[in-house]
Amino acid sequence: MSSRILIVDDSPLVRKLLRKCFDSEPGLEICGEAGDGKEAIEKAKECHPDLILLDLSMPVMNGLEAAKVLNESMPSVPLIMFTNYNTTNLAEEAVAVGISKVIVKTDPLGDLITCVRSLLVRHVA
């Protein structure tokens, strides 16, 4: 059985690239996509993901705001902030709203896959 991932990013190109990346990974499947935080909350209720990958900077509702709501409604679902920004302040804010890990978009995609698999193992265990 595959682990279900929800991708949340305002860039259709980033979502497409992430989908392609995860589609080539055995045991991982994309259950949905969203372009902003509000849509992410709705999609998460619909598709019941095992993990949510969130961008920080998005219209309507940013990733931190969405993470807070998602963590309250789905506290067992790991959240990864996948962003262009990486500061100590962001990491602290992310942890405060329930984000498990912050990954920078310029890091190798292999690091993201490793992080996803690690969090999913802990989630299932």
Q: Order the strands of the 79-83 sheet from edge to edge.
A: 28-34, 3-8, 51-54, 79-83, 101-104
Looking at residue 125, what is its pLDDT?
47
- Architecture field, domain 3-124: 3-Layer(aba) Sandwich (3.40)
Q: Per-10-residue mean pLDDT for the chain, 125 residues long?
A: 93 94 92 96 96 92 94 95 82 89 90 94 64
Nearest CA among 67, 74, 82, 25 for reference residue 45: 74
Looking at residue 70, what is its pLDDT?
96
Where do the structural domains in the chain lie, given as residue ranges? 3-124
Residue 80: in which H helix or E strand, if any?
Answer: strand 79-83
Q: Residue 117 has which token pair?
A: 């698999």
